[in-house]
Amino acid sequence: MVPGHRAVKASVWQDISAQTMGKLAEALTALLDAGRRQGVLRGDVDARDVILLSWYLAHVERAEWDERAPRLLSVLLDGLSVR
């Protein structure tokens, strides 16, 4: 392996990941803002909260998916609603 190859590869991945997350966060922020203006979404949740919760949901083990995923998705979506 070429010396420094892993560092370059990691750096490129971080750049791509940051760009993607930036675009995703912008889109989620727009959706959350629209929901807040309509009075249906709570005001204390931001795009990063949704991304982190979605990341967790995406990492539910396959053996638990059928049982756990619908419940977790419901908690995530219900948790965005105004109380």
Using one digit for the tens of pLDDT, what is the confidence trace for 3-33? Answer: 566 666 677 667 768 888 899 999 999 999 9
- Cα end-to-end span (Å), the chain: 55
- Report domain extents, the chain: 7-80
Q: Report d(CA 76, CA 2) in Å as an integer.
A: 44
Query: Are 57 and 72 spatial neighbours (Cβ–Cβ below 8 Å)?
Result: yes
Average pLDDT (58-63) is 91
Query: Are 32 and 26 spatial neighbours (Cβ–Cβ below 8 Å)?
Result: no
pTM score, whole prediction: 0.72
Provide the pLDDT confidence category of residue 83 given band limits of 50, 70 and 90.
confident
